Structure 1
């Protein structure tokens, strides 16, 4: 079992040890948290390719000590100008994989540029150097990447450019074998030399969009050239003296705040952790937040999301009053994606950044664009083809997004940075680890190590099951089933629970970090 890492100055955590190490090296070279975060993000796009890529999106919550406030950057892409419901005439839904699933422009490279341009200290090429090295020289194939490659072999084999990289010789390379991505290394070198616009207006953009055009894709050169992310004001809430910050819509972040507002109505610390009542309250609070999320969440440029009402404490109290301790509600969940990579960095100057990036499903669309080495996301496949649906497909629109990095502040400064992989599991796992730290006094690693649950159709599975790790007692599992939950016991440390990570600054000013034992991650602090 992993133990909490303690530092006095700086800390980096990510779901892959090589990315964490790269961030630590950037800090040691004189970079700040923002330089290190971009380095970590770029490295994850190389060493964690089943979960994230330059062809995906990202969301960033930042705290710069000179600003004295939390800011957000929305680096998610919009649908193309040709993306409309008529483009899928005769289809019941947008395909989950393949060219047809590539609907939105990848926003992550723009996010790197925005964060680095606003706050970075080192030059751009130096920050991208670790990622270039891992792509060019290779790294040991992880068990997680190997298992995901084997599981998605049929998807990866459909496109020659994808198969050549991920299934060389017709099969995945074995764990521990050197995995290189030479085409991706060339793309990263071009970005290091020419900057952000290389990806959206340069040769890389031309190669990606030409490939899509040859294969009947919807995205065009104009879609890439016109892309921009946005600095945004985070949504706010509070929980037992902590100020909560999440990304605003199109992120589902407000659902995590709603769940905590509901749980604040109960004296959790007086309820035994891991008991029936603990799981029941958490699950039911989250179900209620999901009900409103599913009703309202989409691109706020196209629809109104009534955040003031949803985040009102009186509304939370009314929702809390509807929870029954011995009866499961009949709320339904959505089918959401699974691949994500969350990371966080705190430096010695007090700067903090909590960020998350994704391809939506494992390996996204399953399509590498030409000779760029860039695996494109399928995030836009979550748009609805129902014109009356809040998340209906329209040109230039951002889709409902699961990504939700979090920061909680105490006395105006970041106290907890936390997040996780796992689609619909993200607000569930965030709620688990945050309540464990705040209500039960656990350190970040213990909060992450403890048994977890995930309710609903996360990871693309068509079920309303409440999956619970096998370390939860048989008596609690039985009582949850008797309350009406469709309980399924899974492995003791099951990857279906996602990969959570956290950094906490304790009351002594020390940094404590935790990385999920369910993944290849690591914490480095000093």
Structure 2
């Protein structure tokens, strides 16, 4: 139970509908859409479009989108709105151009943005409104302005040099060469015009015509390989979620090219241990969780890629025998000495949101430009800031995740949905790049193993590991005794100045007929309902 003498926030409770996002303007856009008769899909798209304006360091229409939609009876729909590498790209081509890796601000890191077509597809298949109906608030904030919130301002201030390197980004996102301060009003007129065009003409206005021409011309001027044909051929894929059991619940994640099944591997390993008897912030809980994470992530980095190029199906990696063998590697009394290191960096920028409507339709949605402000390349006429998801590709010939034309890269962003007795129970997600599978296991474990409400589960202190060295990173409020205990088990542990990830969650309490929502205090957002 929450200590009302201590700083913090309560979980939000409502009887009808709820939204949880990482920005107040996004949450209010979702609630406004719901109260105007829209369903959860309509509200989710309205909310994420707003975030693409007011959280530009985290997301944008130049990024990608994934979603899981759960009908009230438990039927699941998965949607992959991630873009592909330009057809002319290949590891051989990039090596010939003098590249040794796909750098974060390189035009070669820009894959075709998938978000806009994903939103339209969601609305056409599961919504009640059109893009024109739900983009109004996003257009308004882009044209008339919005006040920069504290976490957004902090992130912005750390990226001045990166934004200054591109004329389009410098013009769109800096004021006299400086980042906006908390409370300062920002406007993005070219982006407003592009959103207005999409609202009036549909996603075709983004993938063909003047907007696509602006994107392609901007990238080609920097040596990129994107073409108008690459843009026009963007398609959204239906995906059957992959599921796993945890403590009697069914956890649904999207299959590759996302890393969702890695969360299921972690949960499968952790289910072999009696976590309920442990201190949720203690040494043994974090040791088991992070050792399970190190094992699961080593699988990710060897095998995860575009599913057409993976040597193993996720079902093989999630088989009972395989999970049992992996769990057998965990020593409760000592750190595993040798695991192959990860190749992904520890941080990326993403927004996650959840919406549940009055009929019980639930949406778990995540939208991202990958690293801070993506590639920091902005197409100047359209105002589209472009992602750098292609930086997840490798240039190693023969590796499943090497870059090739028309191929999707390994993706870190993963929405989740949990079912109880076959019906939606928890719609949740955790932001933070590579941290996300570990974050899913941590937040879900807080709820199922330790009885926390959704806000407590989100608030609780976190740890992760550096994905190259496996040094453990501890947030400020991880107890010192826990850190000392982990060191005694052989871990190297460092305190980190920045918060780890962010999360939103909505739990459906059918017995009481209510919704319970939470939003991460590590961000600016909130949960709200009615």
Pair 1:440 & 2:446 matched: no
8 Å CA contact 2:430–2:440 kept in 1: the answer is: yes
> Equivalences for 1:237-256 in 2 at 5 Å?
237-256=244-263
Taking the aligned partners of 2:141 and 2:514, their CA distance within structure 1 comes to 32
Pair 1:425 & 2:435 matched: yes
Aligned to 1:498: 501
Taking the aligned partners of 2:449 and 2:92, their CA distance within structure 1 comes to 50
Pair 1:373 & 2:383 matched: yes
The CA RMSD over aligned residues, in Å, is 1.4
8 Å CA contact 1:424–1:456 kept in 2: the answer is: no
* Residue 525 of structure 1, aligned match among 519, 524, 529: 529
Q: CA deviation at 1:272?
A: 2.4
Deviations 1:372-394 (A, max 9, x none): 11100110012111112221111
Give the secondary-structure state (helix, strand or coil) at the position aligned to 2:119: helix
Deviations 1:32-86 (A, max 9, x none): 0000011111111011100001000010000133x74111000000101111123
Aligned to 2:82: 76
Pair 1:346 & 2:368 matched: no
Give the secondary-structure state (helix, strand or coil) at the position aligned to 1:355: strand
Aligned to 2:275: 268
Pair 1:383 & 2:393 matched: yes
> Equivalences for 1:162-173 in 2 at 5 Å?
162-173=169-180
Taking the aligned partners of 2:106 and 2:298, their CA distance within structure 1 comes to 30
8 Å CA contact 2:108–2:390 kept in 1: the answer is: no
8 Å CA contact 1:334–1:456 kept in 2: the answer is: no
Deviations 1:399-428 (A, max 9, x none): 000011100000111101111111111111
**Number of residues paired by the alignment?**
517
* Residue 474 of structure 1, aligned match among 477, 480, 502: 480
**Deviates most, 420-429 or 309-318:** 309-318
Give the secondary-structure state (helix, strand or coil) at the position aligned to 2:327: helix
8 Å CA contact 2:74–2:419 kept in 1: the answer is: no
Taking the aligned partners of 1:140 and 1:335, their CA distance within structure 2 comes to 33
Aligned to 1:156: 163
Aligned to 1:363: 373
Aligned to 1:303: 310
Deviations 1:79-102 (A, max 9, x none): 011111233223211121142422
Q: CA deviation at 1:456?
A: 1.9
Aligned to 1:46: 53
Pair 1:91 & 2:94 matched: no
Any gaps of 5 or more consecutive residues in structure 2? Answer: 1-7
Aligned to 2:191: 184
**Deviates most, 43-52 or 118-127:** 118-127
Pair 1:333 & 2:325 matched: no
Taking the aligned partners of 1:509 and 1:320, their CA distance within structure 2 comes to 38
Taking the aligned partners of 1:441 and 1:215, their CA distance within structure 2 comes to 52
Q: CA deviation at 1:276?
A: 1.2
Taking the aligned partners of 1:9 and 1:304, their CA distance within structure 2 comes to 45
Q: TM-score, normalized by length of structure 1?
A: 0.96
8 Å CA contact 1:467–1:490 kept in 2: the answer is: yes
Aligned to 1:403: 413
Q: CA deviation at 1:489?
A: 2.0
Deviations 1:410-458 (A, max 9, x none): 011110111111111111111111001011110000011111111123x
Taking the aligned partners of 2:204 and 2:309, their CA distance within structure 1 comes to 27
8 Å CA contact 2:124–2:130 kept in 1: the answer is: no
Taking the aligned partners of 1:469 and 1:94, their CA distance within structure 2 comes to 30
Pair 1:510 & 2:514 matched: yes
Aligned to 1:13: 20
Aligned to 2:241: 234
8 Å CA contact 1:184–1:373 kept in 2: the answer is: yes
Q: CA deviation at 1:479?
A: 1.2
Runs of 4 or more above 4 Å deviation: none
Give the secondary-structure state (helix, strand or coil) at the position aligned to 2:176: helix
Q: CA deviation at 1:166?
A: 1.0
Taking the aligned partners of 2:150 and 2:504, their CA distance within structure 1 comes to 19
1:470 and 1:370, CA in 2 relative to 1: closer, same or farther beyond 3 A?
Answer: closer
Taking the aligned partners of 1:303 and 1:439, their CA distance within structure 2 comes to 33
8 Å CA contact 1:30–1:122 kept in 2: the answer is: no
* Residue 284 of structure 1, aligned match among 255, 274, 291: 291
Taking the aligned partners of 1:201 and 1:301, their CA distance within structure 2 comes to 27
**Deviates most, 140-149 or 22-31:** 140-149
8 Å CA contact 2:311–2:400 kept in 1: the answer is: no
